[in-house]
Structure 1
Amino acid sequence: MSFSIYNLDEEIKELLNLDDFLGGFTVNEFVEELSKDHFLKGAEVNNLEYLDPKPYIRTFESTLRELKSLSVEADSQKDQLDKQVNEYELKHSQNVLELSDRIESITNQFGNLDVRISDVSGQIDPLNTSLNKITNSRDMSIETIFLIRTYHGFFTKSKYDPLENLRVSKVYDDRLKCAKTVNNLMTLAKKIESADIPQTTQCVQAIQKFSETMERTLLNKFEVALDNDEFEVMKEISSILNEYNGGTNVIQTFVNKNDFLEEMNDDNNGAGSILDDEAVWFNLSNPDYLESVVDENLEDLLNHLKVTIKGQARIVSQVFENSTPVLKIFIQRIYAQSIQTKVNSYLQYSISVSSLAHVRVLQYLSQVVNEFTKDLKDFFITNDFDNDNELSSILDQCFYDLFIEYTSDNVYFNREKKSLEDLIYDVVSKFTSYNERALNANQLSTTLDNLNNLDYNNDSTASSDKAFGIIERKRLNKFKDFMKSRLSEVNVRNRNSIDPEDSEERKQYSSLNLALAETIIKSIIESVARVLELEPNRSPEYALELLEILLFDFGKLYIQGSLEVIYDALKSESNYTKVSSNNAIDFSYLQSFTLLTDILFLLSSCIRRVIIPCSANNPNIRNRMINLTNSYIKRCEVAINVILKETMDLISEKLAYFLSKQKRKDFLADNITEYDTEACEFVSDFMTKTHESLTVSLHDSNLLNVLTKVGMKFLSLLLEHFKKFTVNSTGGIILTRDVIRYQAVIESWEIPELSENFQILKEIGNIFTVHPNLINSLVTEGQLASLKPSTIRQYVAKRTDFNPSYLERFFSFR
Structure 2
Amino acid sequence: MSSPIKADISSIKDAVSYEKFKEKFSALEFVDNLTSSMMAASKRSTSPVKAIVFDPKPFIRAFDMASDELLRLKKRVQAKIDDQEDQAAASESQRQRKLKSFGDTFDDVHRAFESLDSRLSEVGNTAIRIGEQLETIDKQKTRAAEAKDLIQYFLEFNKGIFTRLDTLRQSEPDGGYKAAIIARRLNTIAKEVDIADTEAARANIEKYCENLEKSLLVEFDQAYSQGDGSTMNKIACTLLDFNGGSSCVQTYVNQHAFFINLLKIAEMDQESTTNIKEDFSEVDPALIRLYEEITVAIHNEWKVIFVVFPNAASVIQVFVQRIFAQSIQNYLEGLLERARNDSPVSFLQALAHSHAATAKLVTDLHRFDEKVISKALGSPALSSLLNRSFEDLFVPYLENSRYIDMELTWLSEKLQNNLGALQSSLFIKTKTMFHHRKALSRSQQSSPTKETATPLTSNAVMSSIMLTVANTMSTVSAMSSELGTQLSGSPLGQNFPATPSADGCWVPTVKDATKCFSVYMQSVHRSKELAQMTDLSLCLSLLFKLLVKELGASSILVGLDVELEALHAIDHKSEPEFGQLKVIKTVTKTLQIFQHHFQAQLIPMLASSPTLQREMMIFKNEFFSAIEEKLNAIMQRKIAVVASWMEVLFARQKKSDFKPRDDIVAVNTLSTLVCNQVVDFIQRVRDEAHVSLDGENLESYLTEVGTLLHCLLLDHFKKFPVSYAGGLVLTKDVSKYHEVIMTFKITLLDERFDMIKELGNMFIVKPENLKSVINEGYLGRIEMQLLHPYLSLRADWAKLSKIEHELFEMNEIHA
State the TM bucket, normalised to the shorter chain.
Answer: 0.7 to 0.9
Match of 1:310 in 2: 299
Check conservation: 1:420, 1:523, Cα contact below 8 A.
Answer: yes
Match of 1:616 in 2: 607
Match of 2:38 in 1: none
Deviations 1:581-600 (Å, cap 9, x if unpaired)? x4xx3112333332221111
How far is the alpha carbon of 1:217 from its aligned partner?
Answer: 1.6
How far is the alpha carbon of 1:130 from its aligned partner?
Answer: 6.0
- Residue of 240, 243, 252 corresponding to 2:241: 243
Match of 1:563 in 2: 560
Cα 1:612–1:273 change in 2 (3 A) is farther
- The one-letter amino acid paired with 1:530 is R
Match of 2:61 in 1: none
Match of 2:388 in 1: 397
Aligned length: 666
Quote the Cα distance in structure 2 between the aligned partners of 1:605 and 1:119: 94
- Residue of 719, 735, 738 corresponding to 1:724: 719
How far is the alpha carbon of 1:729 from its aligned partner?
Answer: 4.1
- The one-letter amino acid paired with 2:210 is E
Check conservation: 1:167, 1:175, Cα contact below 8 A.
Answer: yes
1:467-482, aligned counterparts within 5 Å? 468=465, 470-471=467-468, 476-477=480-481
Match of 2:151 in 1: 151
- The one-letter amino acid paired with 1:426 is N
1:558-637, aligned counterparts within 5 Å? 558-572=555-569, 574-575=570-571, 578-580=572-574, 582=575, 585-637=576-628
Check conservation: 2:679, 2:736, Cα contact below 8 A.
Answer: yes
1:78-93, aligned counterparts within 5 Å? none
Match of 2:186 in 1: 185
Deviations 1:547-593 (Å, cap 9, x if unpaired)? 11011112112222332342243234x12xx232x4xx311233333
Deviations 1:403-430 (Å, cap 9, x if unpaired)? 1111112211111112211111112321
Match of 2:206 in 1: 208
Cα 1:502–1:547 change in 2 (3 A) is closer
Whether 2:520 is the aligned partner of 1:518: answer: no
1:590-739, aligned counterparts within 5 Å? 590-669=581-660, 671=663, 672-675=666-669, 676-699=671-694, 702-739=697-734
Whether 2:312 is the aligned partner of 1:358: answer: no
- Residue of 251, 255, 258 corresponding to 2:256: 258
- The one-letter amino acid paired with 1:339 is I
Match of 1:787 in 2: 782
- The one-letter amino acid paired with 2:215 is T
Query: Any idea what SS the aligned residue of 2:413 has?
Result: helix
Quote the Cα distance in structure 1 between the aligned partners of 2:322 and 2:263: 12
Match of 2:21 in 1: none
Check conservation: 1:443, 1:567, Cα contact below 8 A.
Answer: no
Deviations 1:320-364 (Å, cap 9, x if unpaired)? 112111111111111122111111111111112222111111111
- The one-letter amino acid paired with 2:176 is R
Cα 1:793–1:248 change in 2 (3 A) is same
Query: Any idea what SS the aligned residue of 2:701 has?
Result: helix
Query: Any idea what SS the aligned residue of 2:263 has?
Result: helix
- The one-letter amino acid paired with 1:795 is Y
Whether 2:161 is the aligned partner of 1:166: answer: no
- The one-letter amino acid paired with 2:298 is I
Match of 1:289 in 2: none
- The one-letter amino acid paired with 1:295 is D
Match of 2:230 in 1: 232
Whether 2:731 is the aligned partner of 1:740: answer: no
How far is the alpha carbon of 1:121 from its aligned partner?
Answer: 9.2
| Max Rg structure | 2
In structure 2, stretches of 5+ residues that fail to align are: 1-109, 439-444, 446-450, 455-459, 472-478
Check conservation: 2:758, 2:779, Cα contact below 8 A.
Answer: yes
How far is the alpha carbon of 1:168 from its aligned partner?
Answer: 3.1
- The one-letter amino acid paired with 2:171 is S
1:101-140, aligned counterparts within 5 Å? 127=127, 131=131, 134-135=134-135, 137-140=137-140
How far is the alpha carbon of 1:244 from its aligned partner?
Answer: 1.4
- The one-letter amino acid paired with 1:300 is R
Check conservation: 2:428, 2:493, Cα contact below 8 A.
Answer: no
How far is the alpha carbon of 1:366 from its aligned partner?
Answer: 0.9
Cα 1:252–1:639 change in 2 (3 A) is same
Cα 1:789–1:371 change in 2 (3 A) is same
Check conservation: 1:662, 1:679, Cα contact below 8 A.
Answer: yes
Quote the Cα distance in structure 2 between the aligned partners of 1:645 and 1:587: 15
535-544 vs 791-800, which moves further: 791-800
Check conservation: 1:168, 1:175, Cα contact below 8 A.
Answer: yes
- The one-letter amino acid paired with 1:552 is K
Quote the Cα distance in structure 1 between the aligned partners of 2:330 and 2:223: 31
Cα 1:252–1:169 change in 2 (3 A) is farther
Quote the Cα distance in structure 2 between the aligned partners of 1:719 and 1:254: 102
Check conservation: 2:690, 2:698, Cα contact below 8 A.
Answer: yes
Quote the Cα distance in structure 2 between the aligned partners of 1:369 and 1:445: 60
Match of 1:41 in 2: none
Percent identity, aligned pairs only, is 24
Check conservation: 1:746, 1:754, Cα contact below 8 A.
Answer: yes
Match of 2:534 in 1: 537
Check conservation: 1:215, 1:241, Cα contact below 8 A.
Answer: yes
Check conservation: 2:667, 2:725, Cα contact below 8 A.
Answer: no
How far is the alpha carbon of 1:467 from its aligned partner?
Answer: 5.5
641-650 vs 521-530, which moves further: 521-530
Check conservation: 1:273, 1:296, Cα contact below 8 A.
Answer: no
Cα 1:170–1:312 change in 2 (3 A) is farther
How far is the alpha carbon of 1:278 from its aligned partner?
Answer: 5.6
Query: Any idea what SS the aligned residue of 1:267 has?
Result: helix
Quote the Cα distance in structure 1 between the aligned partners of 2:743 and 2:435: 34
- The one-letter amino acid paired with 1:168 is Q
Cα 1:435–1:478 change in 2 (3 A) is closer
How far is the alpha carbon of 1:190 from its aligned partner?
Answer: 2.5
Quote the Cα distance in structure 1 between the aligned partners of 2:521 and 2:314: 43
Whether 2:402 is the aligned partner of 1:423: answer: no
Whether 2:313 is the aligned partner of 1:324: answer: yes
Whether 2:768 is the aligned partner of 1:767: answer: no
Query: Any idea what SS the aligned residue of 2:719 has?
Result: coil
Query: Any idea what SS the aligned residue of 1:384 has?
Result: helix
Q: Give the alignment's Cα RMSD to 1 decimal.
A: 3.8
- The one-letter amino acid paired with 1:543 is L
Cα 1:744–1:391 change in 2 (3 A) is same
Deviations 1:8-37 (Å, cap 9, x if unpaired)? xxxxxxxxxxxxxxxxxxxxxxxxxxxxxx
Match of 1:52 in 2: none
In structure 1, stretches of 5+ residues that fail to align are: 1-111, 285-291, 455-462, 495-499
Query: Any idea what SS the aligned residue of 2:429 has?
Result: helix
Quote the Cα distance in structure 2 between the aligned partners of 1:466 and 1:512: 20
Quote the Cα distance in structure 1 between the aligned partners of 2:320 and 2:295: 10
Quote the Cα distance in structure 1 between the aligned partners of 2:728 and 2:173: 133
Deviations 1:271-308 (Å, cap 9, x if unpaired)? 69994576544xx5xxxxxxx61432221222112111
Query: Any idea what SS the aligned residue of 1:616 has?
Result: coil
Cα 1:693–1:502 change in 2 (3 A) is same
Cα 1:511–1:547 change in 2 (3 A) is closer
Cα 1:502–1:724 change in 2 (3 A) is closer
- The one-letter amino acid paired with 1:167 is R
How far is the alpha carbon of 1:191 from its aligned partner?
Answer: 2.6
Please give the TM-score of this superposition, normalised by the length of structure 2. Answer: 0.74
Query: Any idea what SS the aligned residue of 2:763 has?
Result: helix
Please give the TM-score of this superposition, normalised by the length of structure 1. Answer: 0.74
How far is the alpha carbon of 1:256 from its aligned partner?
Answer: 1.1
- The one-letter amino acid paired with 2:354 is L
- The one-letter amino acid paired with 2:520 is I
Quote the Cα distance in structure 2 between the aligned partners of 1:478 and 1:144: 90
How far is the alpha carbon of 1:779 from its aligned partner?
Answer: 4.2
